[in-house]
Chain A
Amino acid sequence: AAGVIQSPRHLIKEKRETATLKCYPIPRHDTVYWYQQGPGQDPQFLISFYEKMQSDKGSIPDRFSAQQFSDYHSELNMSSLELGDSALYFCASSLADGGSYNEQFFGPGTRLTVL
């Protein structure tokens, strides 16, 4: 079965550089979520989109922005990178709930290292 695809899988950047992470949801999934997982920590919610509109927002720095495109893929743009941004970034997708509270399916993550 098709899963959530994230690219790149690994990314190394210097401080103050920019990075773009991409997420391709499971086919027919219309909802995308972004999470950040620091070393030894639990995933922290950043932002979510439903039908290309921002739906929920968590602890996402102002330096970060994201969007969902017409084909439902999403991109997380990160600027002025800081050492503390080094983490595993997960994308998850789901079908819109409609009351069914569908589970989120997670991608393999992008490991970002900021030097």
Chain B
Amino acid sequence: AQSVAQPEDQVNVAEGNPLTVKCTYSVSGNPYLFWYVQYPNRGLQFLLKYITGDNLVKGSYGFEAEFNKSQTSFHLKKPSALVSDSALYFCAVRDENTGTASKLTFGTGTRLQVTL
């Protein structure tokens, strides 16, 4: 079964500093990876995805993620954090070997806290 792991429950960073939210994956075939962000009492917002191609994926709100096959990682990054980036971040992997409407399996989430 495919899975993702987010080893950090919380990441703290000062505004203006770079941030990294870690994610590692385990899949039997090709990895299809996603990052979503969830603000309090809100739905999940799509940030970016890796399907194939360049290892550095650029997404919304200045976020990017680096796919590393040898380390089975897909870490989320941003060069300069904003207080408004404070939220819950989920890494997810899509099931490869099921039908058209394949589910996403989420990690446990990492709470990002950006302070002034």
Contacts and interface: CB of A to CB of B under 8 A. Distances in A.
B100 interface: yes
Contacts of B41: 111
Interface SS of B by simple majority: loop
B55 interface: no
A32 B100 CA distance: 11
Contacts of B103: 33, 45, 48, 56, 58
Interface residues of B, number: 26
Nearest to B50: A101
A41 to B, nearest CB: 8
B102 interface: yes
Given A42-B108, A101-B94, A108 B43 contact: yes
Interface of A: 4, 31-33, 41-45, 48-50, 55-56, 58, 90, 92, 94, 96-97, 100-101, 103-109, 111
20 contacts: A31-B100, A43-B104, A44-B106, A48-B101, A48-B103, A50-B99, A55-B98, A56-B95, A92-B44, A97-B100, A97-B102, A100-B51, A101-B49, A103-B34, A104-B104, A105-B46, A106-B36, A106-B44, A108-B42, A111-B41
Given A55-B99, A90-B43, A111-B41, 10 more contacts: A43-B90, A43-B104, A45-B105, A50-B101, A55-B102, A56-B98, A97-B100, A104-B104, A106-B45, A109-B43
